[in-house]
A = this chain, B = another copy of it.
Amino acid sequence: MKKALAFDIGGTKIYSTIIDENGKILAEIDKFHTPKTIEGIKEVLTNQILRFENEIDVIAISTAGAVNNENTAVIGSTGNLVKNYRTINFQELSSKKVFLENDANCAAWAEYKIGASQNTSVSVMLTLGTGVGGGIIINNRLLKGKSGAAGEMHFKMFTDKRRKCTCGSWDCFEIYASGTALKLDAEEALHNQDVTTYDVIDGVKKGDKKMTEIFERWQNDITQGIIGLANLFDPDCIVLSGSMAQFVNTKKVEDEVNRNIVTTPTSIRLASAGNYSGMIGAALLAMGGSN
């Protein structure tokens, strides 16, 4: 059975392990702080590659940032990764094939192959974390677009410039549906810069009326965004992943979405492929292809 040396490269941590072509994790999860230089990042990757290169068939990297259609280079914004990250030539780090894909796309692929969207042909995955990631699968292929950057969840929630988005534009879904957005909602409602997403979630659990209102606003914004996605893609399901997904009442969102769409009813599901779905998806894509 084929095996991949998998990496997940994010703004704060790099993870690495060995994964087989069924998506099974075969080794310990190695964990590193993401270095602040590209030399540092290359060193972390090279050390792992030297350790495992003889045992594996391919190197599979789930990374922050958009990845080109050839799966060889990062082309888009990479958030808090070092600025010239996209200049790294990943292939020159190994004689084995090095495959890259965007982390949200990898996670969506893992859900499709071994998780919540198995046996569907059209699905949308939303990663609700500090930001919002998107991975869209259509007719059993990742939606990549002309350059590889498709699936960016930056569509408008208002068109009259209320809240600046991290992307530089205004009022994108990301800045209303992320964990950051929940904190902003709470700051605005309470006129208090120190409130955290934890305070809101904790307040909801304790039955606090104000915190519940803030949370419901955030959940409703997610719902409104999903209505648009459901009308555009007519998906079998929409999968919610990321650290904030667990707090969403999927049944409530699903009912509201299905009352407001012109397409046929869809299903809202929590991700089930686990914390390392990025690496699993990257490995499955690298060994099986996006078909």
Residues of chain A whose beta carbon lies under 8 Å from any beta carbon of chain B: 66, 75-77, 120-122, 134, 136, 138-139, 141, 143-160, 167-169, 172-173, 176, 220-221, 224-225, 227-229, 231-236, 260-264, 266
The secondary structure that dominates the A interface is loop
How many copies of this chain?
2
Given contacts A146-B236, A264-B147, contact A156 B227 (CB under 8 A): yes
Which residues of B lie under 8 Å from residue A144 when comparing CB positions? 234
Partner of A262, one of B122, B148, B167, B236: B167
The distance from the CB of A155 to the nearest CB of chain B, in whole angstroms, is: 3
- Show 29 residue pairs from A and B whose CB-CB distance is below 8 angstroms, ordered by the A residue: A66-B262, A66-B263, A76-B262, A121-B146, A122-B150, A145-B233, A145-B235, A147-B234, A148-B234, A149-B262, A150-B234, A151-B232, A152-B231, A152-B232, A152-B234, A153-B232, A154-B231, A155-B228, A155-B231, A156-B157, A156-B225, A156-B228, A157-B158, A158-B158, A158-B159, A169-B227, A172-B231, A173-B228, A228-B228
| A231 proximity list for chain B (CB < 8 A) | 152-155, 172
**Chain B hits for A145, CB < 8 A:** 122, 233-235, 263
- A159 and B224 in contact, given A141-B139, A145-B233, A150-B233 (Cβ under 8 angstroms): yes
